[in-house]
Structure 1
């Protein structure tokens, strides 16, 4: 499940097809040591990374409800990176190829569900919607740049931390918000012109980078999930959320899907997890962190 790069170099057949998980993202690989365990994990989950704040409590409750499932490996990386990992057969992390196949994968994109199904790795009818969310804009406390509407993100004096469309499902919904607020011109201004000017900064992997940039003063604003803004507030960080309103925040379009993945070693445990997250107990845990049920 975890293959070392051959001694004497980093080349490996097919390496160009495998995504790379940055070295600093170990926190998004929960139970990594299980990949070296003689028996391996008995449940493998690739969950949309923006659920990271709820995952420890969720896994603890699932283990309590299913005491025979103890060894859980769980990724909380961006869904598009995880999708590439599934379809290519692995991902590099700190010089090793992680080839474990998930029993379940979560995405916040119907296009992601379609891509997995078209690759023959799931059945669309078996994928289940289980959560909702919405987009807000995170800024430093006091909103020093006076960001009040989506168009303010196009201003030259506002440095935007923008989730990467390559890795992150939220980027799809943010682009829809830009287009709803100002058409293709606004989307191009923020995503192309300002990026070229250095005032739109794409995340490297994970939009957890956005609050870090705001706190460091290298960005002024960044679209994030409302649950992430709530988590920042719960931690007491000097950040606040700007709401762009129900007509723009994509709350009616955003749905999280959980899909069984063909090739996972423990499909029965995967099905049990899918049932659990949609149970009253699972929904209550997510609700504590601001997620909304479907």
Structure 2
């Protein structure tokens, strides 16, 4: 299993654009159930583009797929769903796309750039604070207190859209110190002392013990993020891509996701 740095992923997109390569718009991925049935896959590198909040769970699932199919090397690229969707639309060589919302996947589906999508998990928001919560930040209103440095995801990113909805529902208005392009960046700023608090997913709090603490804000259960996954149309590794999707949707895959704090779809 490997992780492709975001900069290299962007360079790959630029290279495809410069050479005039365009992604196939075929809606038939050509995927089969042979991998699930036990057919051995050919040696190949499978490129999975996934929302940053999926990092821990998808690392584990990628390892599991490689154990089941030793010839397959899963290459993971994590970022904000909007950034990944833009890269796929520009021709990035992704085989699977797992988004943190339907909004960023739908335009790709409308253009025939991904196959049928299936929701595989859900997530809710938490207030993230420094370990021990030294500033006693417990509510959404506390995020807007004078002197509290709050960071959020940008509005086009699923965690940012969810944060905006949660704050609007609560009638809380605040001006964040920064708007980050993925939820991992929000966690990093709070853990590093650059911010006092922010809104992240429940799974991010669970994945970062000792780095951040979490508080459940009022109304969190009313704003649930739904995660869809799809095989990218024209994938050169459609069979392996479908095998990964099938694993995510399987009882074993759902167990891994639940262990990382995700909700059932």
Structures share fold, TM-score greater than 0.5 = yes
What are the equivalent positions in structure 2 for 1:192-211 lying under 5 Å apart?
A: 194-195=175-176, 200-203=177-180, 205-211=181-187
Measure, in 1, the Cα distance between the counterparts of 2:133 and 2:70: 47
Measure, in 2, the Cα distance between the counterparts of 1:78 and 1:250: 22
Aligned-pair CA distance for 1:154: 1.9
Q: In the alignment, what sits opposite 2:166?
A: 177
Per the normalisation by structure 1, the TM-score is 0.72
- Over 3 Å counting, the alpha-carbon distance change for 1:256 and 1:149 in structure 2 is same
What are the equivalent positions in structure 2 for 1:113-152 lying under 5 Å apart?
A: 113-123=105-115, 126-152=116-142
Q: In the alignment, what sits opposite 2:259?
A: 288
Q: In the alignment, what sits opposite 2:54?
A: 51
Aligned-pair CA distance for 1:83: 0.3
Residues matched between the structures, number? 233
Q: Unaligned regions of 5+ residues in structure 2, if any?
A: 1-7, 19-41
Per the normalisation by structure 2, the TM-score is 0.79
- Over 3 Å counting, the alpha-carbon distance change for 1:292 and 1:3 in structure 2 is closer
Aligned-pair CA distance for 1:47: 1.2
- 4+ residue runs of structure 1 moved beyond 4 angstroms? 2-5, 11-15
Measure, in 1, the Cα distance between the counterparts of 2:97 and 2:57: 16
Q: In the alignment, what sits opposite 1:32?
A: none
CA contact (8 A) 1:137 1:224 kept: yes
Q: In the alignment, what sits opposite 1:86?
A: 88
CA contact (8 A) 1:135 1:250 kept: no
Q: In the alignment, what sits opposite 1:27?
A: none
Measure, in 2, the Cα distance between the counterparts of 1:12 and 1:277: 30
1:267 matches 2:238:
yes
- Name which of 124, 143, 147 aligns with 1:157: 147
1:248 matches 2:248:
no
Q: In the alignment, what sits opposite 1:61?
A: 64
- Over 3 Å counting, the alpha-carbon distance change for 1:211 and 1:114 in structure 2 is closer
Q: Which range is displaced more, 112-121 or 131-140? A: 112-121
CA contact (8 A) 2:124 2:201 kept: yes
Measure, in 2, the Cα distance between the counterparts of 1:255 and 1:216: 29
Measure, in 2, the Cα distance between the counterparts of 1:4 and 1:276: 27
SS at match of 2:123: coil
Measure, in 2, the Cα distance between the counterparts of 1:13 and 1:45: 18
Aligned-pair CA distance for 1:249: 4.2
SS at match of 2:146: coil
Q: In the alignment, what sits opposite 1:34?
A: none
Q: Which has the higher contact order (CA 8 A, sep 6+)?
A: 2
Measure, in 1, the Cα distance between the counterparts of 2:89 and 2:125: 28
Q: In the alignment, what sits opposite 1:108?
A: 100
Measure, in 1, the Cα distance between the counterparts of 2:168 and 2:10: 45
